[in-house]
A = this chain, B = another copy of it.
């Protein structure tokens, strides 16, 4: 984890000097790594609603993204919506692809591997008999998710595969999807 002179400062668009300095800073002050992320959502009509993402907490203080992002979600007409945005479950697939890909770039940079191309397709199979309440044996969520990566870079295939594997092993979204996260729901009605 020590940066050496042979490492260029930036690889794969990752500032490796800052990456290693961040690791060292968190090692010295583990509390800095406690983050809270947030989304605020507002119902619009039917299955159409909109989330706003801006502030978060991390490294001991309240922070803001450089922009405020707004995302609409909806159901397509075939699911009795108006297709004003992707379905919520499609955002989950995007999150998984994005998390694995970001990790891949960081890990490759840390290992001195220059990547030239990373693409992926994520598919999720879901049987809507679950959420429609028509078959108690069918779960509500995805029955399975498949990620197919194409990874090219200046390293042997085996090394590229190991980088993907390490990204999987350290992916926040992969953990959220493949393991259990406790979720509480509170409701104010006035």
**Residue in A30, A42, A98 with the greatest tally of chain B CB atoms within 10 Å:** A98
Answer whether residue A9 sits at the interface, using C-beta atoms and an 8 A cutoff. no
Chain A, residues 168-182, CB within 8 Å of chain B (1/0): the string is: 101111111111111
Q: Which residues in window 87-141 of A have CB below 8 A to B?
A: 87-106, 109, 115, 117-135, 139-141
Assess the B19–A94 pair: CB atoms within 8 A: no
B40 x A121 contact (CB < 8 A): yes
Q: Tell me, yes or no, whether A186 is within 8 Å of chain B by CB.
A: yes
Kindly report how many copies of this chain are found in the complex they form together. Answer: 2
Asked whether A185 lies within 8 Å of B37 as measured between CB atoms, the reply is no
Q: Which residues of B contact A41 (CB under 8 A)?
A: 94, 97-98, 101, 119-122
* Contact indicator A190/B157 (Cβ below 8 Å): yes
Q: Identify A105's interface contact among B46, B59, B144, CB under 8 A.
A: B46
The interface residues of chain B lying within 8 Å CB-to-CB of A39 are 90, 93-94, 97, 121-122
Q: Is the CB of B190 within 8 A of A152?
A: yes
Please tell me if the beta carbons of A26 and B132 are within 8 angstroms of each other in the complex: yes
Query: Using Cβ atoms and an 8 Å threshold, which residues of chain B touch A145?
Result: 181-184
A71 pairs with B48, CB closer than 8 A: no
A–B pairs, 10, beta carbons within 8 Å: A13-B45, A22-B132, A26-B129, A30-B129, A35-B125, A36-B126, A63-B76, A91-B91, A145-B183, A176-B177
Ranked 8 nearest A-B pairs via Cβ: A13-B45, A13-B46, A141-B175, A41-B97, A73-B98, A43-B118, A88-B99, A141-B176
